[in-house]
Structure 1
Amino acid sequence: MANFTIADIKALREQLGTGMVDTKKALEEADGDVEKAVEILRLKGAKGNAKRADRSTSEGLVTAREQDGAVTLLELACETDFVAKNERFIALADKVVEAAAAASADSAEAALAAPAGDQTVAELISDEAAIIGEKVELRRVRTLTGEHFSVYLHKTSKDLPPQIGVVVAYTGENAEAARSIAQHVSFANPSYLAREDVPEADVEKEREIVTEISRNEGKPEAALPKIVEGRVNAFFKQVVLLDQDYAKDNKVSVAQVAKDAGITITDFARFKVGA
């Protein structure tokens, strides 16, 4: 009879985030030796990493780290919510964001190449994925620089780690207002900071679409320019942070809220797991 109990299986599974069957088999093969079982699971997992390459990673977490006048925001993805809330996966995310921040990585590719101890972040993730038994993917990384930052990590479920992460870079001293705007970004999901950041090709495409819609609605030709510009402005209010109606008071824009608070938003980033 193997020298372990159901409680041992449960404890090891919670520690590693591995499946019940695989954990039980590893303990059986190791005759109850936990360290040996971990090594067995790691070797088995390494062989399985390639097989898992095409699997989807729709779960995971977002996390952030501030270092030397910059904040790094990243999304680390996995296959199931069971792994997403596992302590080993969360600890891996902490190591990855620390390494990415130290390297000032501004892309997943740069972060994967960053050193993490005596290996790269890519190697660290591969090793941990082998133990966890799921595909783990560093999906997105942004590093923002600025004078001050507000970091907002939002949990969409109390049982899971943060699923939405926002960083707002700003000048000025009103941290409370900056945090409120970060919360707005979490909810409203803008794509650009200011109108001038929207690619001109996107604006022209929107103008063409709303012009055609307006004509199809039978709007008078003489009134088209004003109608089209109004609809283009509505487009800006959807995608541009500073133009958006403030989530807590839709009678004012985010730009007005920032101005009244004496702050200037200089940059922002928003990640949502799986989006």
Structure 2
Amino acid sequence: MAAITAALIKQVREETGAGMMDVKKALTEAEGDVARAKEIIRAKGIQAAGKREGRKAQEGTIASKVVDANGEQTGYALELNSETDFVAKTPKFVEFTDQVLDYAIAANANSVDDVLGAAAENGTVKEAVEEAAALFGEHVKIGQFAQISGPHVEVYAHKKSVELPPSIVAMIATDEAGAAVAHEAALQISAMGAQWLSREDVPSDIVESERRVATEKSLAEGKPEKIVPKIVEGRLNAFFKETVLLEQSYVKDPSKTVGDLFKEVGGKAVAFARIEVGKGSAE
């Protein structure tokens, strides 16, 4: 049994938003297993009392671009964070973000680490970002980064208001036929925040975790054991409908799914990505 340390309690509190005593009880029941403790908290329906207390809000913007090469398109999106939206919306900050994205594209970056190590005008992107922090008078950092490829890539950049730069960028790669509904799919991704493209893409450990949580929750609700498996499958299907892009109800016509959109044009989605300012890893 792992020791229930203050660091473990802090980690689970930050990731679930549950209170300290609830977290401590869950960790004790789970014998120090963080993943299991999170499942117990969810199964018991413990609400996020102090969700992500003390975490500093991250402002910034997102630059995006589609590049054609070798008969395919590649979409890139990069988040650059600042401390305030006052800095994030300045032309110089937006211009610098575009410049960093260009460095990432030139390096064919696939991750944030690749971006940081990419060549800049004088040194690396990491060094350029450090210099930018001094220029803007705030902490500046690379947030999230995404790259997807396919015969067609559609990008939708959402702004919360006209005076602010993009706060959400959604990208989807499709085959040629799927390009006909790619824009609608990108709008869906921006609005509904799917996590996976298809049911098959959901990692098996996550599916099993959802199954355990649904089972424990059903039993805790006093449901008869003989009907619990059917209830669990229903809850799993609801989970897929919420988190899987092709199974989500199409926001403009809930009578069909996003998958139906692609079937109607005889096309398919290949990959997608969504970046929202401030939603990446905590510092």
- Normalising to structure 1: TM-score of the pair? 0.77
2:63 equivalent in structure 1: 63
Q: 1:202 aligned to 2:202? A: no
CA distance in 2, matches of 1:104, 1:142: 11
Q: 1:236 aligned to 2:230? A: no
State whether residues 88 and 165 of structure 2, in contact with CA within 8 Å, keep that contact through their aligned partners in structure 1.
yes
Deviations 1:54-91 (A, max 9, x none): x9561101111222331111111101111111111011
Deviations 1:158-190 (A, max 9, x none): 210000001100002454510011000001001
2:226 equivalent in structure 1: 222
**1:104-119 superposed matches below 5 A:** 104-119=108-123
**1:3-42 superposed matches below 5 A:** none
Q: 1:268 aligned to 2:275? A: no
Cα distance, 1:194 vs structure 2: 1.0
CA distance in 1, matches of 2:265, 2:61: 31
Cα distance, 1:117 vs structure 2: 2.4
Report which of the two structures shows the higher radius of gyration computed on alpha carbons: 1
State whether residues 73 and 97 of structure 1, in contact with CA within 8 Å, keep that contact through their aligned partners in structure 2.
yes
Cα distance, 1:265 vs structure 2: 0.6
State whether residues 144 and 267 of structure 1, in contact with CA within 8 Å, keep that contact through their aligned partners in structure 2.
yes
Matched AA of 1:95: Q
State whether residues 109 and 115 of structure 2, in contact with CA within 8 Å, keep that contact through their aligned partners in structure 1.
yes
1:179 equivalent in structure 2: 183
CA distance in 2, matches of 1:186, 1:176: 18
Matched AA of 2:64: A
Deviations 1:37-69 (A, max 9, x none): xxxxxxxxxxxxxxxxxx956110111122233
Number of residue-to-residue matches in the alignment: 221
Matched AA of 1:59: E
2:128 equivalent in structure 1: 124
Structure 1 unaligned residues grouped into runs of 5+: 1-54
Taking a change above 3 Å as real, the CA distance of residues 74 and 270 of structure 1, as seen in their structure-2 partners, is same
Taking a change above 3 Å as real, the CA distance of residues 207 and 174 of structure 1, as seen in their structure-2 partners, is closer
Structure 1 residue runs of 4 or more that deviate by more than 3 Å after TM superposition: 173-176
Taking a change above 3 Å as real, the CA distance of residues 223 and 56 of structure 1, as seen in their structure-2 partners, is closer
1:170 equivalent in structure 2: 174
- Normalising to structure 2: TM-score of the pair? 0.75
Q: 1:90 aligned to 2:123? A: no
2:44 equivalent in structure 1: none
CA distance in 1, matches of 2:102, 2:140: 17
Secondary structure, counterpart of 1:269 in structure 2: strand
Q: 1:153 aligned to 2:154? A: no
**1:62-81 superposed matches below 5 A:** 62-67=62-67, 68=69, 69-81=73-85
Cα distance, 1:216 vs structure 2: 2.4
CA distance in 1, matches of 2:56, 2:138: 10
State whether residues 63 and 73 of structure 1, in contact with CA within 8 Å, keep that contact through their aligned partners in structure 2.
yes
CA distance in 2, matches of 1:118, 1:131: 15
Structure 2 unaligned residues grouped into runs of 5+: 1-54
CA distance in 2, matches of 1:258, 1:102: 32
Cα distance, 1:253 vs structure 2: 0.9
